[in-house]
Amino acid sequence: MSFLTGKKTYIVVGLFAVAFVLAIVFKVVVPEEIYGIMAALGLAAFRAAIADINGNTGWKTYLAAVAVFVISLLSLLGVALPLEIIYGVLSALGVVGVRGAVKKLTE
């Protein structure tokens, strides 16, 4: 999958753009869980880019990204979850993980 090297974040941004155009221009109802899945993919791609720079392979950001992806997928399949609380906690965990990785870049 070397063809994806350096392109993952751009792919996620493109997916967000497609969802936005579908929702705004074509009035297609895009489930909110789709945005959660794309955010998880974007966070993981961003964290992977940091790992490529300095070899830091911290686990917190990846855990948050995987959890957001799974929770969004479950919600999309109809499993009722208190998403606001779950996304808030997982987003905080992801931000802490990225913050730690960026800090290590400057050391």
pLDDT per position in the chain (107 positions), as tens?
A: 677 777 887 888 899 899 889 999 999 998 888 888 888 888 788 777 777 776 766 677 777 778 778 888 888 898 877 767 676 777 777 777 777 777 777 77
The 10 Å Cβ neighbour count of residue 84 is 8
3-state class of 65 per DSSP? helix
Query: Assign residue 97 a region: left if phi > 0, alpha if psi is -120 to 50, beta otherwise?
Result: alpha
pLDDT tens per residue, range 64-86: 778 778 888 888 898 877 767 67
Nearest Cα to Cα of residue 102 among 58, 36, 42: 58
CB of 38 closer than 8 Å to CB of 15: yes
Domain ranges of the chain: 2-106
Q: Would you state the pLDDT for residue 85? A: 67
Question: Please, what sign has the CA dihedral across residues 33, 34, 35, 41?
Answer: positive
Q: Would you state the pLDDT for residue 56? A: 65
